[in-house]
Amino acid sequence: MKVSLVSRFPLGRQGDGVAAEFVLNPGETTTFILRQVEEDGHDSVHDGVLLEARLVGTEALTQTLAFWRQWLRKCNYSGRWREMVHRSALVLKLLTFAPTGAIVAAPTCGLPEEIGGVRNWDYRYTWVRDAAFTNYAFLRLGLTSEAEQFMAWLEQRAVEGARGDPLQTMYRIDGGHELPEEVLGHLDGYRGSRPVRVGNAASEQLQLDIYGELMDAVYLYDKYGTPTAYDFWCHLRKMLDWVANNWERADDGIWEVRGGQQQFVYSKVQCWVALDRAIRLANKRSLPLDRTRLAAERDRIYEAIMTRGWDTERQTFVQHFATDAVDASNLIMPLVFFLSPTDPRMRGTLDRTMAELVSDSLVHRYEIGRGAGDGLTGSEGTFNMCTFWLVEALARAGRAEEARFIFEKMLTYANHLGLYAEETGPRGEALGNFPQAFTHIGLISAAFNLDRRLGVGP
């Protein structure tokens, strides 16, 4: 394919590229048009072409601005941080693949979690977990059409889960299963951060938490969108039977560690969520369900977490059953109504998390070198999603002013477009893939709940 670049200013070669120098006065615009040309390479440039370029460019810009402004009018958030919430909503919309409703975790790969380090992953896929959280954000903002599109994609995953095999943690945007991880050894990576990987071997891991996030998405869509169809429910029931039979298994956890499976507390919490939301939904819609069995398993999960996932000496929930290390993922407990935000155990976990994992108001997801090893060398930045989880947990616990300080400080780490990567480094630099859906989901949820706790006013 051959292309031509058209401009009303003289163009000249500059190295391997093309450059032009020009001056625009206030209010003046210009347009460049890049277009495909005939195979013979002929593309005569004349006044008509230049006029076409200007008209096409201006019209495209006008239509684009009109589309996004109209789309944002559907957003029902009117709190203190409207601009940042709107920017996050735009990010989530742009991460959505319209033909299937799939939502990617980030549009990039290979951007490091430590400059020069080895934690460099490919996030251009649809994680069940990340996409389910995104669905919550869309519903929270009143953007039900986006949620509807994702639910169609999610229903296909439930059909697969009904076959009795574990769901994959992630899929291609077309629903494909094959995501082989490869190292591109001929690339240096961002600022020498090697290896550069495409594909993701975490797709082959067992992550039990995804069932809770999936069922919570179904429950919320049933509540704020469209009631659950019977055939879809039949697939979900079979998948829930698998959860009831397998929640006691060790898994690889939300952080996709590569150092061996453990009995992760977060995974158990989300298995509890899966069964809890199923029971709630069945009761609400009078849907058929083996309530007795699922309720019994739900209660067994709860007791296991309270007895084996709680460290009496340190007064905190731990990362997994065989460690005393803390993990920021446990901040999710009051957010999913597993535990009251003012329960003494939750207060203890909050205090221990702030003592062990917080650095200048920002939250590390776990203690590297303690707990479950991730099988990698080096370190990483603070995890932005966890910082927003901390904000929300503090707000729900009645510590709204403390939460507001951390939230507004976190807003200063966004770039000039209001966008975030996955992590924030020690000098405030963006680390990891960018922009990251996880982070923007956390911002939206924290903003809603913090507004509610602070009440009316600036």
Digit-coded pLDDT (tens) for 297-332: 999 999 999 999 999 999 999 999 999 999 999 999
Cβ atoms of 417 and 87 within 8 Å: the answer is yes
Q: What is the pLDDT of residue 406?
A: 96
Say which DSSP state 167 is in.
P
Residue 40 within any structural domain of the chain: yes
- Nearest-angstrom CA–CA distance, 382 and 215: 29
Residue 176 within any structural domain of the chain: no
Cβ atoms of 242 and 163 within 8 Å: the answer is no
Phi, psi of 294 (to 5 degrees): -65, -35
Residue 18 within any structural domain of the chain: yes
CA atoms 115, 116, 119, 125: torsion sign:
positive
Please state whether the peptide bond connecting residue 435 to the residue before it is cis, i.e. omega within 30 degrees of 0: yes
**Residue 129 CB-density burial (10 A; 0-12 exposed, 13-18 middle, 19+ buried):** buried
3 state SS of 40:
coil
Bridge partner list, 251: 262
Intervals of the chain under pLDDT 70: 1, 39-56, 369, 371-378, 456-458
pLDDT digits (tens, 9 = 90+) for 344-364: 999 999 999 999 999 889 999
Identity of the amino acid at 39: E
**Residue 375 CB-density burial (10 A; 0-12 exposed, 13-18 middle, 19+ buried):** exposed
Bridge partner list, 4: 35
Q: At what angle do helices 82-94 and 437-454 cross, to 10 degrees?
A: 150
Residue 7 within any structural domain of the chain: yes
Residue 51 within any structural domain of the chain: yes
Biggest CA–CA distance in the chain, Å, is 80
Cβ atoms of 394 and 406 within 8 Å: the answer is yes
Burial 357-369 (b: 16+ CB within 10 A, else e): bbeebbbbbbeee
Residue 100: left (phi > 0), alpha (psi -120 to 50), or beta? Answer: alpha
Residue 11 within any structural domain of the chain: yes
Alpha helices in 249-343 (DSSP H): 265-285, 291-308
**Residue 232 CB-density burial (10 A; 0-12 exposed, 13-18 middle, 19+ buried):** middle
Residue 35 within any structural domain of the chain: yes
Residues 6+ apart with CB under 8 A from 365: 255, 327, 328, 329, 357, 383, 386
Domain with 25 in it: 3-63
Number of compact structural domains in the chain: 1
Q: At what angle do helices 82-94 and 128-140 cross, to 10 degrees?
A: 130
Q: What is the pLDDT of residue 154?
A: 83
Residue 441 within any structural domain of the chain: no
Task: Show the tokens assigned to 61.
Answer: 């810009």
**Residue 233 CB-density burial (10 A; 0-12 exposed, 13-18 middle, 19+ buried):** buried
